[in-house]
Structures are given as structure tokens and as C-alpha cells.
Amino acid sequence: MTVPDPADRGTHAVMVARKQADAPAMTSPLGVVWRAVATIWSVPKARVGVALLGFFVLLAVFAPLIAPYDPSDNGFGRSEDFSAAHWMGTTAAGQDVLSQIIHGASTSVFVGFVAGLLSTIIAVTIGLTWGYLRSITGDVINFVVNLFLVIPALPLMIVIAAYLQNGGIGMIIFVVVITGWAWGARVLRSQTQSLRSRDFVTAAVFSGDSPARIVFREILPNMTSLIVGSFFGAATAAILAEAGLEFLGLGDSTTISWGTMLFWAQNSNALLTGQWILLFAPGLCISLLATSLSLINFGVDGLSNPRLREGANR
Amino acid sequence: MSLLSVRDLSVVYEPRGGEPVPAVTGANFELQQGDFVGLVGESGSGKSTLGFALTGLSKPPARVSAGSILFDGVDIANLSLADLRVQRHGGFAMVLQSGMNALNPVRSIRDHFYDIFAAHGHVSRIDREDRAVELVGKVELPSSVLDRFSGELSGGMRQRVSIALALSLEPKLMIFDEPTTALDVLVQHAVMNTIRELQASERFTAVLISHDLGMVLEVTERVMVMHEGLIVEDNTAAAILAAPQHPYTQMLLSHYGDPRAEVVEVPGLAVRGTARAVSSDVPGREGRAAREAIVVRGVSKIYPPPRRGEKPVRAVSDVSFRLEPGASMALVGASGSGKSTIAKMITGVERPTSGTISFGDLQVDTIKRRSLKRLHTEVQMVFQDPYSALNPLHTVEYILTRPILNFSKRRGQDARRRVLELLDTVGLTPAPQFAARLPHQLSGGQRQRVVIARALACEPQVIIADEPVSMLDVSLRAGVLALLNSLRETWGVSMLYITHDLLSARLVTDQIMVLNQGAVVEEGGTASVLQNPQDDYTIRLLEAIPHPQVGR
């Protein structure tokens, strides 16, 4: 055949440029991850987010090494002000505040990660199945999801948490997951519905693939950025919800976390005694951690949409 | 002085974090007032990039890197955005391929005109209505469209509106970027005629950008052929038709033929004369030749009304035919004629409202999900758009392995051997290299070959090809068609070829059925129907095909 081939001629300018950029990285799963990290890193906002998150993760992992004292050791003077021995002073119960802040990071990071992951898994499973099926099952799921969407999350959380009294972190994760998956499921469902009508999905049906395989091998990988975005969103919500529940005294008040610190600070009227750092430090940490995740989400947008990458300099 | 003079113009794409890619290099030409010039090239030849540069619409990452564009003596390559905007009145305008989607769906057509009049202030408030009516009149639309919204207009009407909008600034230079490509065949023809008449009466200078050399030769006086960013040929249409100089132009031109001719020949495809008999006894390879016929009897499909209070949509009405084993049949019609719906019903994707479809002992019209898999081992589909038919995240090997694992007993190395064999069959060699590629590393033609290989993977008896070449460049079409043809002849697969393109139907099929609004209006041997069309609709379809040779 004498027909020339455009790929050999290397014609389409943009296509070729993208090919060169993508070709080596796209070949292995590790390459995909590396490319994702590189994409997120190329967005300045996301870079700040990654640095912040990295800081908190390091704090959480190496808390026992970094913290000057045992956070539950109440053998120090009560409600002490800043000093060389206690940089942030001590609590009303006589614990070192800095050590509590450092150890509190591990609770928040852990809850954020686990609850975010679990609610994303539920959202993905339900959202994708719901989006792909066109039968009565879809209507049933629709009803359940709408139910979870209309119930106000905070009162529901409080009710469940009050019911499962003092269940500790496990209970908090459970409550956050139960109330947090529905929105993600809804978003993923609409994307699935739009991908479902693509030719490659029909082609997979013609290749004899089962519905489950089509959903998870053909459709799912095409919405990575949405799923990663929904994970960071869920993790942010989980961190805030955890702090909120602990602050209301609905968690186990003996665990060391930023939420319980706020709870005890409020209980001991820290503001009235002038120990503003007791409220300010955990509050700032919570908002910084949540901010870091939101900042990373800016970079995630560029993952599956190259136009957002190129348009960034306009 | 010429209206537009382009000197040594180069445009490069500078993607972030990538090597700059030249899209247009050293373009040199002049346009006089009232010229009608065609700019032809295949996808990626830089023709649209050049068009955008001429109207000052180049967007990052594209950048004019060298040369000048003198429009009425002003270099527009270096104009600021504000000066450029002023220049658009009485200057240059562009009609885009997706121009019909450029209308704001929540504003009436009248608002669109008024916005432009207000922005440039060249039409006084009292005259606006008259001017808008006059403009839509010029594109042969009734004044009532001014009250409508874009969603209420057909694709052709919307494209006419966007032409009228472009005219509202009384441009001296109009650039049409594939103005009819997204439209239906018959509508294409009508819109093209309007553009032609407008150009003749208004005497603006027009540049028609298109991939379709045949159409450009038919409507324009002068043609520039672009290839890899270079203008390789610039001559009058008659001269190009009579004696194309550049080998690329010669190649493009060789792919045009008249489906009505006695013998139709296109490079790479076997000659198909009139005398050819319908061959159902193809010497197929053992076990692969089609044994069963698809029998469609009195099939109708009625879709529920799109909106409350409207009538149900009758997509297919009372269609009967028989696709004999090993035969090739074309299903021809404009969009909306129901040809794709028929394909969906034959493959069990949709169910007919009435009538029966059978394939061997399978009753396709009432098929259960379990037997659907059995149907798909025998009836496979080649999709229209190779860019969306392959999952961008899977390698060619994965894509081809799926049907092999699902439909045959081959596993492991055996399955891989089969993948390589399939790639060989569709001409993608060296096969191991292609197997490892991802779809975005393949060209459109190569992708379509992968799609065909996937359809062949389970050794089907019937292949349904839904416009398999309509998204491909002209030069690649012949290759894919030749492949389909040879597969059919060597393996004895039956083929239902769905298309609006009568030339390709003539090239690869023996029988033809012409559909109009869901009903069969004409059927018979492809050559005899096309040479001697009886129905008015078939004649109109034939006339809509550009014939560069006709009338010269």
C-alpha cells in the first residue's frame, strides 16, 4: 500500500508535541503516578499545598521523636505561660501544649486519610454502578443517595456519635464516612453517565467484557482526576468533621487530637485566662491542613485536562 | 494594492514544557479584492492555524514567529487586541467549523445581531431590525428566525446564522474554516451554494479552508494546497485539476472519483467495474467464512417523543432485507435516515418496535443478555470515530486481548500470538511494536486498523462498519477501505457498510440500499443503482457529491 501515514510524517503540531511529552512516562503504572505528581507539582498553588501537607505528614509520622514530652504527661505546672521548657505553655491539666499539637497531627492526618479513603471507595463503587446501570436498581440507589444528601450532615453526625458513645477514633471515622460519601457518588455518577455513551465502552460490550469489568477497567481510569479530587475533598471534610465532633465532646475526650485540645481549652476557659494559644494553635493547624488539601486540588484539575495546563499562563 | 499580502509567515506552537513545533512555515501569498481562494490540506497541515493567524485569532500556545500579514497596508500580526477589535468592522471575519455551536443558547438570534451592532456602533438603533432582517435574508433564512433560539434551529440554519453574523460587520475578507464539514451531505451542498452566491454578490474576498479538495476545486477560483505547514501549490483551480504539479496534490486528486462512472478506481483499491456479479460463494478460509444470513423482516423503530406533546419519532419504518453470507451491502442515507438505528438493532443494542431480525437460529429482536454474547462472537462492529472507540488508557495489546480471552479458549502466549497475528492482518507491522502502543501514539488510520483488528479478533461472520472512514483523511481512506475489502474477500466475512459517502459505497460493496427518513427508497446492485438512480432522493445524494471534473 502506498498510502502515506500522518504519524510517520509527524504532522499535527500539538499532537506531536504532546506525544513526545507523554510517551515515555505513560508506559508503566509507576510512570502514570510520576506524571500525576509532576502535573500537580507544576501548579504553584498545589506546590504550596504539597509542601504544607508534607510538613504535617512528617509531623504525624515522627511525632514521638519530635515532641519534647509525652503529650498525656500531666506532671507539669498547670496553665503555665510560654517558657523555654514549654514553648506554648501547658494546659489546665498540666500537659505540654507543643507536644499535644505535634501528636494531634497524627490523629487528624490519620482520620483524614482513612475516612477520606473509605468514603471515596464507597462513592466510587456506588457512583459508578449507579451511573452505568439503567435499571430499577438505579432508581433505588437514587433514592438512597438523595436521602443522604438531604439529611443535614452535622445533626446526623451528632446523633450517630451520641448514640455510639465514646467509641474513639473508629467511631468518628464511621460517622464521617456515613455522612460524607453521597456527594462524591453523585458527582462520579454524572461523569460515568457521560463516559458510558462513548464508543470505547460500546466496543468493550462487543468484546464480551462483563459490566463490572467495563465499569472498573474502562470507565474508572478515565476519571482519575475526579476521584483524586473527591478524595481530597472528602479528606478535608473528614478532618473538619473530626475536629468538630471532638470539640463538641462527642469523641473520646482522652485521645490527643486538635479537636479535643479545643474541647479542653474551651472547658477550662482558656481565652478568659489569657491562654489564647490553646485555641489558636490547634485551630490554625486544622485550617492549614484543610487548606493544604484544597490547594492540592487545584493541581488535580490539570491531571486529566491538558487544556488547563496550557491555559495556565494566560 | 492587494487586499491581503502575507510574507514569509511562520506560526509555531509553543506548548508549556515541550519543544516548539512549527505549524506554518514561510507562507507567501497575496489576495486581491473579490478573490475566492481555497486552502486545502489534511488534518495537521497547518491550514486552520494559518486561517486563525490571518484573522488575528491565534491563541497561545500558537504564536506568529516570523513574517508579516499586511491587510490593507496594516500589519495585523503585531496589532494590539484593542486595535484588532476595531479592525474587525469592515475588516476580516471568520466562520468556524463549529460555528453553529458558537451561538449563545439562552439569547435569541436577534440579540446576537444587536450585540454586534451595539459593540461596533455602525448601525443606528432604528435601523438595527431592518439590517438584521436583511442579513438573515442574505443567507436565505426567513426573518422569523430572529425570534428563535439556537436550540430551535437545525445545524444548517445555525451555520447560516453564523455566516450572517460574520457578514454583519461588512468584512472585506471572510475566512471560512471547514464551514460545512459538521453538516449533513445535502445540507452541506446547500450551504456551500449560499456561500458561493454571497461571495459573488457581495464581492468580499473569501478564503475557504477545507480538507475536501473536490469541494474546493468545485467552488473556488484559486486553490492553495498545504502540506506539513508549507504551501506546496498555489494555482487556479482549473490548472490544478488539469495538471497538478506537486506529488501531494496529485495524490489528493487521485482519491476522487465519480461513483456513477463505469469503472471506479482509487489508488490501493482494486478496480470495481459494472460487470462484477454478486459473489456469495467466496472461497473463505476454513471455519471463518460466513455461513448464516442476517434476515431483517418488516422492522420498525419508534422512539418516544423527545418532549411532551410532540409526536413519537419514527426512526425506521418497515425495512426488510437479507444480508447473504459473504456479501457486502451498503446502507446509504443522510443523517437521520435511520441507518445507524438499523445497525444498533442488528447488533442487539436496541430492540425493534415491530418486525423480526434473525441471524441463524438467534432471534436478535428478542435476544436475552446471555445470548447477546453469542451474537457478538458472530456479529462485530467497526465504529465511526477511531478517536473515541479506543480507550485512551489501554495499550493496543490489552484492547485486542479482551475479545480473545472472552470469546476463545486461547490464553497466555497463545492469546498474545493471536494479537500479533491480528495486527499483521490489518497491516500494522512490526506487530510487537504496535502492540505496546497507546492509542494517542497512533494516527487516525492506524487507530481505525486497531478497531478493525478488534472486530476480527473473535472471527465473526458479519462485520457492521458504521461510517468507518468518515473521520479519516482522504489519503488514509483508501487504505482502510482496501483492508476491509480484502478481509472480506479472503475470509469470506459478510459486511454491512453504513455510509453517506456514495463513492466509498461504490468501492467496497456489491449491493446497496438507500434510506430516506427510515424507509428504503431504492435498492439493488451498487453499480446499477448509482449509474441509473430512480428515486429523487438518490439523485439528490449523488448531486451533492463534489465533482471537480464536472462542468470544466
The ipTM of this complex is 0.75
**How many angstroms separate the CA of residue B141 from the nearest CA in chain A?**
34
pLDDT at residue B17, as a whole number: 65
More confident residue, B237 or A165: B237
Instruction: Mark yes or no for CB contact B21/A204 under 8 Å.
Output: no
- The partner residue sitting opposite A17, judged by closest CB among B15, B347, B373, is B15
Alpha-carbon distance of B394 to B526, in angstroms, equals 39
Instruction: Mark yes or no for CB contact B42/A221 under 8 Å.
Output: no
Cα angle for residues A15, B248, B27 (degrees, 5° grid) = 65
- What residue has cell string 506546590? A47
Give the confidence band of B439 by pLDDT, cuts at 50, 70, 90: confident
pLDDT at residue A122, as a whole number: 93
- The partner residue sitting opposite B406, judged by closest CB among A2, A207, A218, is A207
- Residue B285 pLDDT greater than 60, yes or no: no
Rounded to an integer, the average pLDDT of B314-339 is 87
Rounded to an integer, the average pLDDT of B401-420 is 89
- Residue B194 pLDDT greater than 50, yes or no: yes
Instruction: Mark yes or no for CB contact A4/B268 under 8 Å.
Output: no
| Cis before B430? omega within 30 | yes
Instruction: Mark yes or no for CB contact A200/B454 under 8 Å.
Output: no
Give the confidence band of A270 by pLDDT, cuts at 50, 70, 90: confident
More confident residue, B170 or A118: A118
What does the mean pLDDT of chain B come to?
A: 83
- Residue B8 pLDDT greater than 90, yes or no: no
B13 contacts on A by Cβ (under 8 Å): 13-14, 17
A312 contacts on B by Cβ (under 8 Å): 16
Rounded to an integer, the average pLDDT of A244-266 is 85
Full set of structural domains in chain B with CATH: 4-102+176-254 (3.40.50.300), 297-386+462-543 (3.40.50.300)
pLDDT at residue A53, as a whole number: 92
SS in 3 state form for B343-370? Answer: HHHHCCCCCCCEEEEEECCEEHHHCCHH
pLDDT at residue B399, as a whole number: 92
Is there a contact between A86 and A71 (Cβ–Cβ < 8 Å)? no
Range in A68-72, B257-261, B292-296, B297-301 the model is least confident about: B257-261
- Residue B396 pLDDT greater than 80, yes or no: yes
- Residue A15 pLDDT greater than 70, yes or no: no
More confident residue, B513 or B360: B513
B391 contacts on A by Cβ (under 8 Å): 200, 204, 218, 221-222
- Residue B280 pLDDT greater than 50, yes or no: no
Range in A276-280, B276-280, B314-318, B457-461 the model is least confident about: B276-280
- Residue A313 pLDDT greater than 50, yes or no: no
Cα end-to-end distance, chain A, whole Å = 45
Which stretch, A8-17, B62-71, B73-82, B254-263, has highest mean pLDDT? B62-71
Instruction: Mark yes or no for CB contact A23/B441 under 8 Å.
Output: yes
Is there a contact between B432 and B447 (Cβ–Cβ < 8 Å)? no
- Residue A247 pLDDT greater than 50, yes or no: yes
Alpha-carbon distance of A267 to B148, in angstroms, equals 66
- Residue B283 pLDDT greater than 60, yes or no: no
pLDDT at residue A27, as a whole number: 47
- Residue B546 pLDDT greater than 70, yes or no: yes
pLDDT at residue A305, as a whole number: 59
* DSSP symbols for B61-74: TEEEEEEEEEETTE
Give the confidence band of B551 by pLDDT, cuts at 50, 70, 90: very low
- What residue has cell string 460517622? A175
Give the confidence band of B125 by pLDDT, cuts at 50, 70, 90: confident
Rounded to an integer, the average pLDDT of B192-209 is 88
- Residue A314 pLDDT greater than 60, yes or no: no
B403 contacts on A by Cβ (under 8 Å): 206-208
Rounded to an integer, the average pLDDT of B493-507 is 88
- Other CB atoms within a 10 A radius of the CB of residue A20 amount to 14
Instruction: Mark yes or no for CB contact B267/A2 under 8 Å.
Output: yes
Size of interface A-B (CB pairs under 8 A): 139
Full set of structural domains in chain A with CATH: 49-70+94-309 (1.10.3720.10)
Rounded to an integer, the average pLDDT of B44-56 is 83
The β-bridge partners of B331 are: B498, B513
Instruction: Mark yes or no for CB contact B441/A19 under 8 Å.
Output: yes
Q: What percent of chain A has pLDDT over 90?
A: 13
Instruction: Mark yes or no for CB contact A199/B384 under 8 Å.
Output: yes
- The partner residue sitting opposite A208, judged by closest CB among B403, B444, B476, is B403
Q: Most A CBs within 10 Å: which of B21, B50, B65, B254, as the mutation test of the A interface? A: B21
Give the confidence band of B96 by pLDDT, cuts at 50, 70, 90: confident
B402 contacts on A by Cβ (under 8 Å): 204, 207-209
Instruction: Mark yes or no for CB contact A206/B475 under 8 Å.
Output: no
How is residue A62 written as a grid cell? 515522627
Q: How far is CA B253 from CA A28, A88, B340, B467, in A?
A: 43, 82, 30, 22
- Residue B517 pLDDT greater than 80, yes or no: yes
A310 contacts on B by Cβ (under 8 Å): 15-16, 60-61
Give the confidence band of B549 by pLDDT, cuts at 50, 70, 90: low
A309 contacts on B by Cβ (under 8 Å): 16
Phi, psi of B226, deg, nearest 5 = -110, 140
Q: How far is Cα of residue A217 from the mean position of the Cα atoms in its chain? A: 23
- The partner residue sitting opposite A207, judged by closest CB among B18, B403, B475, is B403
More confident residue, B268 or B275: B268
Instruction: Mark yes or no for CB contact A199/B393 under 8 Å.
Output: no
Contacts of A65 (CB under 8 A, 6+ apart): none
Digit-coded pLDDT (tens) for A69-103: 888 887 787 777 777 777 788 887 788 888 889 99
B476 contacts on A by Cβ (under 8 Å): 3, 5-6
Rounded to an integer, the average pLDDT of A261-284 is 85
Digit-coded pLDDT (tens) for A119-153: 999 999 999 988 888 778 888 888 888 888 888 87
- The partner residue sitting opposite A14, judged by closest CB among B13, B427, B454, is B13
Contacts of B269 (CB under 8 A, 6+ apart): B478, B481, B482, B485, B507, B508
Instruction: Mark yes or no for CB contact B15/A310 under 8 Å.
Output: yes
Q: Identify the closest residue of chain B to A7 by CA–CA distance.
A: B443
| Cis before B259? omega within 30 | no
Rounded to an integer, the average pLDDT of A105-125 is 91
**How many angstroms separate the CA of residue A180 from the nearest CA in chain B?**
30
B478 contacts on A by Cβ (under 8 Å): 3
Instruction: Mark yes or no for CB contact B15/A18 under 8 Å.
Output: yes
Is there a contact between B320 and B297 (Cβ–Cβ < 8 Å)? yes
Rounded to an integer, the average pLDDT of A265-278 is 82
Rounded to an integer, the average pLDDT of A267-280 is 82
Digit-coded pLDDT (tens) for A153-163: 788 888 888 88
pLDDT at residue B100, as a whole number: 61
More confident residue, B261 or A281: A281
